[in-house]
Amino acid sequence: MQNLSLKNISFYIYLCGIFLLAVTLPFSNFLMSVSQFILLGGWIIGGELKEKLIRFSKNKTALVISSVFILHLIGLAYTTDFDYGLEDVKKKIPLMLMPLIFSSSPALSKKQFEKILLLFTISVLAATFVCFFILLGYTHKQIVQPYQASVFISHIRFGLLISLSVFILGYFFIAKKSILLKLLISLLVTWLILFLIMTESATGLICTITVAVLLLAGFILKTNNVVLRFSVMALLLLGCFFTVKGFFSMTEKLNSAFYIDKKQLPSHTKNGNPYIHDTISQGAENGNHVWLFICEEELAEEWDKKSSIPYYGKDMSGNEIKYTLIRFLASKGLYKDAEGVNALSEKEIKSVEKGIPNVNFMRTLNPSARLQKIIWEINLYVKGGNPSGHSVVQRFEFWKASIGIIKENFLFGVGTGDTKSAFENQYEKMNSPLKKESRHRSHNQFLAIATAFGIIGISWFLIALFYPFIAERKIHDYFYITFFIIAILSMLTEDTLETQAGVTFYAFFNSFFLLCREKSKAHIES
């Protein structure tokens, strides 16, 4: 009876640990760590550690997914910067802890499983509401870029949590029969998508759209209703067509300007000062030439009257404010002179100070804003501009550096602790245009693994990623396939496992969806 009581206490501690971790994922790195200590404490208090270790050792899926942690341990054996490597290994502990605990603990009932998902989603929703008020300026925090409203964890990791929450709500929409609940869920899904748009979360939006398209494609393949199949297929094709058409139309609009007869360009401003017309540069904002009608003498004089940031200073985003101002004026179709600066409102002056280069980007809800910025960045990079500070194109430099390191350390990589120094050396070898403060690591999880552990390590990592599809037949598991696609997409442009929030997100949900609902284990009802 005493053993049974101890087991129950252990299980409830374990359950509380899962609940707390699910709730704190969008909010606090510290509480994520506390939750994992609670999970481990409950696991230890329950006793029977030998039996638990045996259950873990017999679970091939748990062993395979936890082996990614072992890979990082092995990488310490041939690293020269052991301290840095040890810090990296400590960060990766959830990759071992979650499979160990979940595979050797009692399975959750459907009710418990759904409660955890519901609590996680409510927590994500609460975090979005708080961040929304911050975005609107109801706090003292200075928001320069929309993504900075994500004050709890990285906006990229937060975008992944929001994307997963959208599809968890989708499950409840189908599972619940109440019309009122379906209506509420629809509103909440709409809110989450709008929040991703408002904060310009490219990763979150891409994940959400991709998963939705793939789920629809899977539905097409499964359904026997020919009319429905062709209707959904036609809808997807039309959506793809208009998306591609809209992308190329926007690209053309952003990269080209309205025709101007260069022979008719005015030589002087209304105040009698000479204009500079750069007729070679092709930059455009909203179809207006950026480098025509420029009188820096008047720009500097008038701007310094209106702003505490000097004309030759830097905006809050770290860029030279004069270039931000010139682009902003062009986006409004104004000349870059005294008259143009005086035509700006106080709100527009504040926007330029924040580093907003286009009047269209001032809107809180602008679905195309992030895409416009990405197109502009790529256009700048193609024309030889410095990629520093531009989140998309500077990744091209990160990837070049990664590939350079991999070529020189093809078989085993540089080890767990030497990635930092390897990147620093590689950027110098490349004579990279990136500023030192912008020289980061891979920003691609696959390249990060290959850099640290070579071709052997990346092969190991890929097996650990895809093994569950074979062993657990998870290809038809709605929750796992949704999470898996989101995780893989994030790894293409981010070092998902290199931050505490990222590694906890991946380790928790990977183990939760794979190991907490095994049919072979008895359920304990709450």
Condensed to tens digits (0 to 9), the pLDDT of residues 469-478 reads 887 777 788 9
Whether the per-residue pLDDT at 2 is higher than 70: the answer is: no
d(CA 216, CA 234): 11
Whether the per-residue pLDDT at 521 is higher than 50: the answer is: no
d(CA 322, CA 299): 8
* Core vs surface per residue 458-481: b (16+ CB within 10 A) or e: bebbeebbebbeeebebeebbbbb
Share of the chain above pLDDT 70, in %: 94
User: pLDDT, tens digit, for every residue of 274-322?
Assistant: 999 987 777 788 888 888 999 999 999 999 999 999 999 999 888 899 9
Instruction: Name the pLDDT band for 191 (thresholds 50, 70, 90).
Output: very high
Q: What mean pLDDT is predicted for residues 448-464?
A: 96
Whether the per-residue pLDDT at 1 is higher than 50: the answer is: no
Beta-carbon neighbour count of residue 370 at 10 Å? Answer: 21
* Token pair 């005086």 in the structure block, residue: 342
What token pair was written down for 23?
């709730």
What token pair was written down for 111?
């009710």
pLDDT recorded at residue 4: 55
pLDDT recorded at residue 471: 79
Whether the per-residue pLDDT at 218 is higher than 90: the answer is: no
User: pLDDT, tens digit, for every residue of 46-86?
Assistant: 888 999 999 999 999 999 999 999 999 999 999 999 999 99
User: pLDDT, tens digit, for every residue of 148-176?
Assistant: 888 999 999 999 999 999 999 999 999 98
pLDDT recorded at residue 232: 75
* Token pair 């030279």 in the structure block, residue: 320
Phi-psi region of 261 (alpha: psi -120 to 50; beta: other; left: phi over 0): beta
pLDDT recorded at residue 255: 63
Global pTM reads: 0.88
pLDDT mean across residues, the chain? 88
| Residue type, position 271, single letter | N
Torsion angle defined by CA atoms of residues 320, 324, 326 and 331, in that order, rounded to the nearest 10 degrees = 170
Q: Crossing angle of helices 321-331/346-354, nearest 10°?
A: 130
pLDDT recorded at residue 253: 66
Q: Do 49 and 101 meet the contact criterion of CB atoms below 8 Å apart?
A: no
Residues 362, 368, 372: CA angle, nearest 5 degrees? 85
